[in-house]
Structure 1
Amino acid sequence: MSLTVEERERFFAEPLVAVLSVAAGSERGPVTAPVWYAYRPGDDIMLFTGRTSRKARLIEQAGRFTLTVQRTSPSYRYAAVEGPAAFVAVTPELVEKVAGRYLPADEVPRYARDVLTRGEELIAIRLRPERWNAADLGPSH
């Protein structure tokens, strides 16, 4: 059963690990990788990655990408969102916002400090939701 706009946005706002997919050219399938992200219903989706990572380079080339999340219980539910990408500077606040969805609160500051100082230059990527595909395949309510 398709999810309403409100249902899919609430579901996507849960701290689920997303799978990012971006076109990798005509000779290969898309690059697909798990990512942490931040999202509030009605807003853009934010994530960060290495500035020179393959996925960042491919997103820059394609100008867009897809994120998919899923849950297998109590019923199988998924949501995929696709749209244009924009690159912005990574801030400590963004790293803490993303990490805070996945880590215990007392571990977030150390994680953020480590990520921001480990040597790899990071870039934030904003996904503007344009197209959604979402459903709950469990029993009818």
Structure 2
Amino acid sequence: MALTREERESFLAEPHVAALAVDGEAGRGPLTVPIWYQYEPGGLVWIMTGLDSRKNRLIRAAGRFSLMIDREEPTVRYVSVEGPVTGTSPATVEQLREMAARYLPAGKVDAYVDFAWKNHGEQVVVRMRPEHWVSSDLGTV
């Protein structure tokens, strides 16, 4: 059964690892990779990626991307959201810390942020406005 707007936005706001998909190069399928993301109901989705990454290059070319998140317990549930990029900006250490705190235990955040900021190269934040949603909870059928 499809989720209500409130249910799908609440589910997307939980800290799941998403599958990001974006149109690929000519002759190839879409690039689909796991990624951390941030979202608050009613707002924009944002991701962080390397400035010179294939992901960022393809997102810039396509002007949009999709995220799909799912879970298996307590019921099989998924949300897929797709939409246009609304902006890209250089990432800040504060944004990196926010993202890391969403996914990592509190005791590991500082070490991860320090390592990532020094070793992952220049990062950008890409924002997307959710435009198209597909969702279901298969435990409610």
Q: Give 1:111 shift.
A: 1.1
Q: Which amino acid aligns with 2:131?
A: E
Matched with 2:139 is 138
Matches within 5 A, 1:35-114: 35-85=35-85, 86-114=87-115
Q: Give 1:139 shift.
A: 3.4
Over 6 Å off, 4+ runs: none
Please list the CA deviations of residues 83-117 of structure 1 after superposition, one character each: whole Å capped at 9, or x if unmatched.
Answer: 11121120111111111111011211221121111
- Aligned partners of 1:22 and 1:2: how far apart in 2? 24
Aligned pair count reads 140
- Aligned partners of 1:47 and 1:95: how far apart in 2? 10
Give the CA RMSD over aligned residues: 1.1
Give % identity: 46
- Aligned partners of 2:30 and 2:108: how far apart in 1? 33
**Unaligned segments of structure 1, at least 5 residues:** none
Q: Which amino acid aligns with 2:62?
A: A
Greater fraction of residues in helix: 2
TM-score using structure 1 length: 0.94
